[in-house]
Structure 1
């Protein structure tokens, strides 16, 4: 179905492979359009409960295809801006998927590849992985990826790495909050399977609501308005069939109905 992606399903798990290994999965207009479309399709698919983003070949993603970037720069300002806006929309579609997302970073994740890793909810990196916000070395800025990179590593670290374009090892990515786990390459899929198992224990609607809650609450002052908002959200979920099922299952000491779709080992 896709030119630049490979989408595999294993029950409730969808793995989206960036599939341009000959150019280190650099994204162009086609990949941007296809990844945006896949995110929207999976968002609407109730049978998909966890999404893994991975890269074929040696790299996770080398960022933007330089030929595409060059052509965009030579276009009119309106067309150039429209291309950048489509890239921003792709990252937003990934970041705001209602299902949990996991970046499987086995190799280099540069520029936009760093943005993809940061836009996912969880990031699992192999020890061989390396990250960089390399844009300034091309006379550019890490513009569209910046909201997600700052969310992952914070403003202070962003001043260093968005300005120096230094390469960030997997171990240091873990230290600064970019990678949640760092494991040997041969253990990468086993670690991701552990996280998937944990995610599938949660109610699908509760997971989606938790993602929305984090986006709302992050960096907000604790005041009456915020307390009212959080109270409203849990009250609404308690009244849903999923919330009622979860509470009943706990009281009755049985697994909730959604666990039937869980796979893997704890």
Structure 2
């Protein structure tokens, strides 16, 4: 598929989706939102892809909304505004719900909607020079569509601060808050992302997919009888799956499992 605002490449079992509007610091517009949704929906269905890296060209990861797009939104009707917001929400969901684990490779600035992309990823590797900001309140707006992902990633208390202050914060702070999984020097960014992608691809594709879904489904739930039964059913089902049997069998037989052969 041809993209105007992205590049998508697959090497081995790793797909790399790269934001490619460097002249506007990879800011969102309608086209990028539609293309990101389509790209992640497509990658979710590819059996040859086991991990997705979300990267960006240029000096910034993503500066949020494109100014020209924002000018256009100013003249939208209520229905048009709601439809536009739903497209952005659908895009973030496509990243978050992607059946493959998503590794965000972050450099430069990740602001506003760019923060939403980062928070929708499963693993975040960031250059120590990266900066983050939920800047919406400065413009009289709020980070509503990205909130479900940001609050999960930052935690409630940090979100209460940064939603209302719109302060920028550095990579060390992002790591301390749990948003950034690994903080590395810029020259180690690609090697670290590759190491994590290799680790993901070494595991059972089905187990990785089910583990990702397990965290999303269990996080925040009350530990009650329903949850206990749900988790017992999940482990029983995966033990009986083809890859579950193959993984245990290969371990006991001291051989390489089929997905690594």
Paired with 2:15 and 2:199, the residues of 1 have a C-alpha distance of 16
Which is worse superposed, 178-187 or 70-79? 70-79
Paired with 2:67 and 2:244, the residues of 1 have a C-alpha distance of 48
Question: What is the aligned partner in structure 2 of residue 170 from structure 1?
Answer: 171
SS at match of 2:259: helix
Paired with 2:259 and 2:105, the residues of 1 have a C-alpha distance of 25
1:231 is displaced (CA, Å) by 0.7
SS at match of 2:190: helix
Paired with 1:101 and 1:157, the residues of 2 have a C-alpha distance of 23
1:66 is displaced (CA, Å) by 2.1
Question: What is the aligned partner in structure 1 of residue 20 from structure 2?
Answer: 19
- Does residue 69 of structure 2 align to residue 68 of structure 1? yes
Root-mean-square deviation (CA, aligned residues, Å) is: 0.8
Question: What is the aligned partner in structure 1 of residue 97 from structure 2?
Answer: 96
Question: What is the aligned partner in structure 2 of residue 131 from structure 1?
Answer: 132
- Does residue 206 of structure 2 align to residue 205 of structure 1? yes
Paired with 1:96 and 1:172, the residues of 2 have a C-alpha distance of 26
1:20 is displaced (CA, Å) by 0.3
SS at match of 1:254: coil
Question: What is the aligned partner in structure 2 of residue 180 from structure 1?
Answer: 181
Q: Deviations over 1:120-176 (max 9, x none)?
A: 000000011100000011110001111111000110000111111111101110000
SS at match of 2:62: coil
1:221 is displaced (CA, Å) by 1.4
Question: What is the aligned partner in structure 1 of residue 80 from structure 2?
Answer: 79
- Does residue 209 of structure 2 align to residue 220 of structure 1? no
Paired with 1:69 and 1:207, the residues of 2 have a C-alpha distance of 38
- Does residue 156 of structure 2 align to residue 155 of structure 1? yes
- Counting matched residue pairs gives 260
Paired with 1:10 and 1:185, the residues of 2 have a C-alpha distance of 22
1:234 is displaced (CA, Å) by 1.1
- TM-score, length-scaled by structure 1: 0.96
1:215 is displaced (CA, Å) by 1.2
- Does residue 194 of structure 2 align to residue 193 of structure 1? yes
Which is worse superposed, 245-254 or 70-79? 70-79
Paired with 1:63 and 1:127, the residues of 2 have a C-alpha distance of 20
1:180 is displaced (CA, Å) by 0.4
